[in-house]
Amino acid sequence: TRDRPDTLRTPIVAVLGHVDHGKTSLLDKVRGSAVSEGEAGAITQHIGATAVPLDTISSIAGSLVDPDDFDLPGLLFIDTPGHHSFSTLRSRGGALADIAVLVVDVNDGFQPQTEEAIDILKRTGTPFIVAANKIDTTPGWNPQEGEPIQVTYEAQSDRARSRLDENLYEIIGQLSDAGFSADLYWRVQDFQANVGVVPVSAMTGEGVPDLLTVLMGLSQRYMKDQMAIDVEGPGAGTVLEVKEEKGFGTTLDVVVYDGTIREGDEIVVGGMHEPIVTEVRALLQPKPLAEIRTEKRFDRVDAVAAAAGVKIAAPDLEDAMAGAPVRVIRGRNRDAVVADVESEL
């Protein structure tokens, strides 16, 4: 038995999909940022993490999300690259996820990396919803900035609406071919048996309130048990990236999915040759809504509780590997934790 009540942690939401279908843009819309515009060659080449607090979600979702109905603290989004050469990063994102958003360009439908993402989600058993993105490109579209899909639907001509519906049903058919019973999200009663499709535009923000509402609703309804963790327990996470930082040397961008990591904690990190045992010198946390992958400013904090993205500065990280596990030793046998990390490599 535990002497502390469990705390609900932030669900981890992986955003997956084919290159250019709008994953980063969708997160930009939620963050109010322009990460996508700054990317070399306009493609994402790394995996990222962004914490979105509940109050931001409810301010975007408006009347669709009443913060009093939720006791989850928000959502931690993991952005992944869609370019075919980054399949390891997509798998890593999928493996971290409690739930996923599969982004599909509503005009292009399923493409090779959409199929690949579906395979990852099947393999990891991750529940997901589909964001049918770029609805604003439907010929004759009358954009309704930031509005829920129902409002936007009512503002469209019959012709525009039926063009969009055709594309949406195409995607529902492709999901069915992939073995998933799917429907427009407002027709889905049981999200465990059916995949909900949410029409959105990362450009105009239409449908983004719905997307966040469905994600919060699903997490709250189906994942609360999974989210109950001993938040004070020894932290566990996955390395997203190994990076040089001025003044800190080699650092790790980590997603913490269990427990807490504190400054001064002894940790074990998977390394190129063998597990690295070291001590946390500094924990640098991006501000809420900041993308850890591109953020320059961090808050130095004493401790970070799951789920969160954090930059860890510590000695001897030169041989650390992206994708490797990170474990806090605190109160446990060091050799056992090292063996744990070794078995996960």
Does the annotation list 259 as a binding residue? no
Count of Cβ atoms closer than 10 Å to residue 143 Cβ:
17
Strands 276-279 and 266-269 turn out to be antiparallel
Residue 211 or residue 269: which is nearer to ligand GTP going by CB? 211
Task: Report if residue 24 touches Mg ion, rule: CB under 5 A.
Answer: yes
Instruction: Assess contact for 301 and 308: CB atoms under 8 A.
Output: no
Q: Contacts with Mg ion: how many residues (CB under 5 A)?
A: 3
Q: Considering only 40-48, 114-122, 124-132, 275-283, which stretch makes contact with ligand GTP by CB under 6 A?
A: 40-48
Residues 6+ apart with CB under 8 A from 201: 133, 134, 135, 136, 143, 207, 208
By CB under 5 A, is residue 133 in contact with Mg ion? no
Binding partner of 133, given Mg ion, ligand GTP, none, CB within 5-8 angstroms per partner class: ligand GTP
Residue 21 interacts, among ligand GTP, Mg ion, none and using kind-specific CB cut-offs from 5 to 8 Å, with ligand GTP
Convert residues 114-153 into a mask of x (bound to ligand GTP by CB under 6 A) and - (unbound). Answer: -------------------xx-xx----------------
Distance, CA of 318 to CA of 295 (rounded, Å): 21
Residue 100's SS3 state is strand
For residues 29-68, which are near Mg ion according to CB under 5 A? 44
Among 9, 23, 262, 327, binds Mg ion (CB under 5 A): 23
Task: Label the pairing between strands 195-199 and 182-184.
Answer: parallel
Query: From residue 131, how far is each of 158, 159, 161, 326 by CA, in Å?
Result: 22, 22, 17, 32
**202 near ligand GTP, rule: CB under 6 A:** yes
Q: How far is the CB of 15 from ligand GTP (least distance, A)?
A: 8
User: Of 204 and 285, which CB lies nearer to ligand GTP in the complex structure?
Assistant: 204
Identify the residue among 21, 262, 293, 327 touching ligand GTP (CB under 6 A): 21
- Number of residues engaging ligand GTP in binding (CB under 6 A): 22
227: nearest Cα among 97, 67, 49: 97
Rounded Cα distance between 304 and 285, Å, is 8
135 marked as part of a ligand binding site: yes
Decide which of Mg ion, ligand GTP, none touches 22; Cβ closer than 5 to 8 Å per partner kind. Answer: ligand GTP
CA distance 139 to 54: 35
Question: Which residue ranges make up the site for Mg ion (CB under 5 A)?
Answer: 23-24, 44
